[in-house]
Amino acid sequence: MKHTEQYSVLDLFSGCGGLALGFQNAGFIIAGGIEIDQAAATTASYNLFWRNGIDHEHLCEDITKSRVDILNFDVKTRPVVIGGPPCQAYSIAGRAKLNSLGENRSFHLDSRGQLYQDFLRFALKLDAQAVVMENVPDSVNYNGENIPHTVCEILEENGYDSVWTILNSADYGVPQIRERVIVMAVKKEVGELLQMPVPSHNRHSDYRTQNEARFPSFMSSKFFREPNKPADDAPKWVTVGDAFSDLPSLFSDPDQPYVPVKLNVRLPYKLEPQNNFQKQMRSMSGKVSGHAFRKTIRDFKIFNDMAPGDNYLNALEIANVHLKKALKERKVNQKDHPEEYKKIKKEFVPPYSADKFISKWRKLDPWKPSHTVVAHLGTDTYSHIHPWEPRGITVREAARLQSFPDDFVFNCTMSDAFKQIGNAVPPLMSKAIAKAMKENLSIAKEVVR
């Protein structure tokens, strides 16, 4: 008979709690957490504890300046330690931004590249039974260092059986192609790491990501393990259309006035659940909150004329067509009316560089999973334009692309909510990781017993 012990979890660099939510839904007890951003810590605390009547919270602390004893946590319990140290120093986008700020801000000088050490400091001090660490695929080459390999080496030196892999969230029922490095480790005195996450979904075609193509090169790391493959008869990847089709319609005509919707306003669903993903996401109330989108009036008409998959270059072409039409209607030309021309151009054409913004705008394809949801949504939502309404996606739609259930509440500003969602680990993928880790711990307990 399998052991049914409930394991305590310490959630470091928790963000708004996506990784912890998956573990909670798999039967783990979230015993504590640390997050440096107050808004994110509050979101995690509300959804993991307060809404369930639990008098507990994620601490808002700088982990680099914190000792393990700040936690109201019994170290004898030997928790499972999970977390995702910030990825800005590793990611291509983060590196480019840092390098653009000057030599003294180069990515290899960014202290965030070493935050995995603080993660390990807590895990080892607490003598964790198991460890799960998440990060971006670019962490395999940080200034020539393979960070997940280094983490596994350190864990092995301290008595752990460790592996790292790269998982695609779409394989776990998330309507988004989002690849992340996952380190999993179990204390050797407890047992060995036998079970890896089991995919629930299969891809639509022979589509292969850039990181999958790199798997053979990762074999040089003795700790790398290829992810499990889904069953041949597994359901196909969840698409954007699968994720959005039952949500309330907000903005069907680009000429209609923009009406702001507060995040706490609850709106009725447009349809009954149309698929299993929507059933998983839906709450029992029949209404949904967080369905608010940004006021980008100049661009609503551009969004309307973009086709699924279109990027910023396509958007510029569309904007210039709109400009030519307006100039003709207003009988203005650049040569004779230079100031009026500038004014009208500003009204219709985005001012961004065609060289730098190609991928910064993209219209979602309803027949495919989304591309990766990013924290930059906190600044704007041009990277994820709604597939059939002329607007950026809402907070709730972004949350669905990450597989946060509809009753997961964001008690914060719209910008904070988008940022938290973009930084999160998709709960459905996290749950698959948690189930695999529970199997490893349960098997180990049976062997010890």
Measured CA to CA, the distance from residue 435 to residue 214 in angstroms comes to 27
Measured CA to CA, the distance from residue 424 to residue 211 in angstroms comes to 20
3-state secondary structure of 313: helix
> Among residues 16, 60, 87, 152, which one is catalytic?
87
Is 60 labeled as catalytic in the residue annotation? no
How far lies 336's CA from each of 319, 333, 341, in Å?
22, 6, 9
Measured CA to CA, the distance from residue 431 to residue 24 in angstroms comes to 8
Q: For residues 312 and 354, is the Cβ–Cβ distance under 8 A?
A: yes
Which of 44, 24, 311, 367 is CA-nearest to residue 175?
A: 367
Quote the distance between the C-alpha of residue 266 and its chain's center: 24
Q: Give me the helices (H) in 331-426, please.
A: 338-348, 395-401, 414-423
Question: Phi and psi for 77 in degrees, rounded to 5?
Answer: -75, -15
Helices and strands, counts by H and E, the chain: 15, 9
Measured CA to CA, the distance from residue 215 to residue 202 in angstroms comes to 19
Residues marked active site are found at 87
